Every structure is written in structure tokens, then in C-alpha cells.
Amino acid sequence: MNLIRPSVQAARIDASEAPVIDGDLSDPAWAKATIIDKFTQKQPNPGTEPTERTVVRIMYDENNLYISFYNYDSRPDQIVVRNMQRDGQVYTSDSVMVYLDPGRTRRNAYNFEIGASGGRTDQLELNNVQEVREWNTIFEAKARVVHFATHGLLASEAEMLGAAKAEPALLLTPPNQPSEEDDGLLTASEAALLKLDADWVVLSACNTAAGDGKTTGAEALSGLARAFFYAGARALLVSHWAVDSKATVSLITKAFDEIKADRRIGRAEALRRSMLALIGGGGRNAHPATWAPFVVVGEGAR
């Protein structure tokens, strides 16, 4: 049996070079970090090559340990987000987890988990079996962009699904045993209570710019959009009517590709370029009903 475990040496930086924890790896300090990109599966096929690439960067200074994750996903529309609360059930969503065992006990560790939306938890692991969730430490994690690719519900539709009250909602993956706290719906009132601190929240779903549904003729953006602004989003991408799923994947993916290719452009310009590309493809995608429902709300420069 091969007991040799891969190891790397974390890069040291000066405390004056400490990066801003905002999910943006363009900070000069990250260029000095040690890169880890050779991983194998633990589940479902132990020891085999992963189906998607993951790049981890690690460095430290005299005050902090810094770890970043760049998780590639060929199907971003299938990323699962169920919980964004601090110390919530982040493990029910797509997430990354770090165990720190400074004593090299291989039994006890400090566990940190970050969800795709920026939700985070921390706990102690004792003797590989006991989890002490009451333990909390100074722990920062940020997601600059929060992207929901799911179904959007009007207030009347949410009410038909048994929501406590009629209000717009996002339909998330329900747990095996739904509860009043976690019923698979993220309603506008629940979204407003989130703590996001996100540069951009993308709601790739139908009718996410709709009104709150409390009154007839409610103004646009008074439902989910307003809720996510209350939660800490600085910009949104929302839709004014029902959207085509396949075209939406192409539209949003292309917009992110444009930003990645040219960091100088803003979100609105990236969306405009993506729309033009969709129109240029011809067919039904050229019709405004397909590409026009989405709009950037909030600052569009950076």
C-alpha cells in the first residue's frame, strides 16, 4: 500500500500584500500563491481522475491563511444551491470543504465549508466521528457572483405550491424531508434576510423581475429583485417574462465569457454582446421573445 501523501509548501506573502477577500483572484497577491490542481476523486469513484477541474491556491502571512478555489463546471445550470445561512445546512448544496489538522493527528481537525453562493459553516472534528458545530472562529468567505439557474415563480404560482403566503419565489432542490424552514422555496421575504455582500446576483429563471404580488398591478422589480438588493446585492440580472431554458444557458454563459475575456467591460455590455451573439445565430433565438427578457439592474460598469 502506498502511504505517501502529496504535499505542497504554501507561499508566504508580506502582511502588506494581503488580498481583499471578495472572490476576485485578480488581486496581485494571488499570483504568488502556491497552486494545487492535481486531485483525485473520493466519491463516487475513489482514486480516479475527477470529471471537472479544480484549482486551489494557498498562501499565508503573519496573520492569516488564504485559500482560494476555482471550480470549473461544464454544466453551471445544474449547480445546486439550497442554503446560504451562516452555519446553515451548506452541505446540502454544491460546496467546497477544508480540513485543517495542525497537530497532524489525522483524527482531529478544524472544518471549514463554503457553498456555491457564499454560505459558510465551521466546526470541530474530533476523533473522526464527533462534530462540534457550536465552535466558531474568525472566518471570511465571499462569492462575488451568486447565480441561480432554476425556476422562478410568480406569487400566485408559489401559493399553489403551498407557500405560507403569496409572494414570488425561486424553486430550489427540495430536501428529502421538507420542513417549514426548508421547503425547497426561496421566497422574496426569505431572500431579503440573506447576507450576501455580492457584486452580482444572476437570477436565470422566469419572471424574476416581477412585482411582489401583494397588490394588483404591483410595480416591476418589487418582488425578488428588491429582496436581493435588501440582501446585499449590488447588481442583478433578472427577467421580465418566461424564458427559454436552452437559450438562457447560452445567453448567461456567453455573458460571463465576455467578462472573462475583457475585464474592462461592465455587466450590461457583456449582456449586450451575448444578446447580439444569440441573435446572430438566427432561428428562433433571433426573436426578441427569446433574448430580450433579461436586463441588468444596478451598477453596470464593474
Q: pLDDT tens for residues 183-194?
A: 778 888 888 888
Of 117, 142, 167, the residue that ends a domain is 142
Quick one: average pLDDT of 207-218?
Answer: 71
Quick one: average pLDDT of 247-267?
Answer: 88
Asked if 162 and 252 sit in the same domain, the reply is yes
Q: What is the CA radius of gyration of the chain?
A: 21
Q: Per-residue pLDDT tens for 42-53? A: 888 888 999 989
Q: Rounded to an integer, what distance in angstroms lies between the CA atom of residue 64 and that of residue 54? A: 23
Asked if 280 and 243 sit in the same domain, the reply is yes
Quick one: average pLDDT of 205-229?
Answer: 78
Of 72, 96, 116, the residue that ends a domain is 72
What's phi and psi for 178, nearest 5 deg?
Answer: -60, 150
Asked if 150 and 132 sit in the same domain, the reply is no
Lowest mean pLDDT among 24-28, 121-125, 194-198, 226-230: 194-198
Asked if 153 and 267 sit in the same domain, the reply is yes
Residue that is written with C-alpha cell 428588491 in the block: 226
Asked if 65 and 184 sit in the same domain, the reply is no
Quick one: average pLDDT of 230-239?
Answer: 90
Quick one: average pLDDT of 273-278?
Answer: 95
Of 54, 72, 90, the residue that ends a domain is 72
Residue 1 scores a pLDDT above 50:
no
Cβ–Cβ < 8 Å for 111, 102: no
Asked if 162 and 136 sit in the same domain, the reply is no
DSSP string, 133-150: TT---------SEEEEES
Asked if 170 and 63 sit in the same domain, the reply is no
Q: Where are the alpha helices (DSSP H) in the chain?
A: 155-160, 188-191, 224-231, 245-261, 267-280, 288-291
Q: Domain tally for the chain?
A: 3
Asked if 206 and 174 sit in the same domain, the reply is yes
Asked if 155 and 198 sit in the same domain, the reply is yes
Sign of CA dihedral 49, 52, 55, 56: negative
Asked if 131 and 90 sit in the same domain, the reply is yes
Cβ–Cβ < 8 Å for 204, 148: yes
Asked if 112 and 190 sit in the same domain, the reply is no
The parent domain of residue 266 ranges over 145-298
235-239/294-298 β-pairing: antiparallel
Asked if 67 and 84 sit in the same domain, the reply is no
What is the per-residue burial (b if ≥16 Cβ within 10 Å, else e) of 259-270? beeeeebebbbb
Percent of the chain exceeding pLDDT 90 equals 30
Q: Looking at residue 128, what is its pLDDT?
A: 81
- Is the whole-model pTM more than 0.75? no
Residue 210 scores a pLDDT above 90:
no
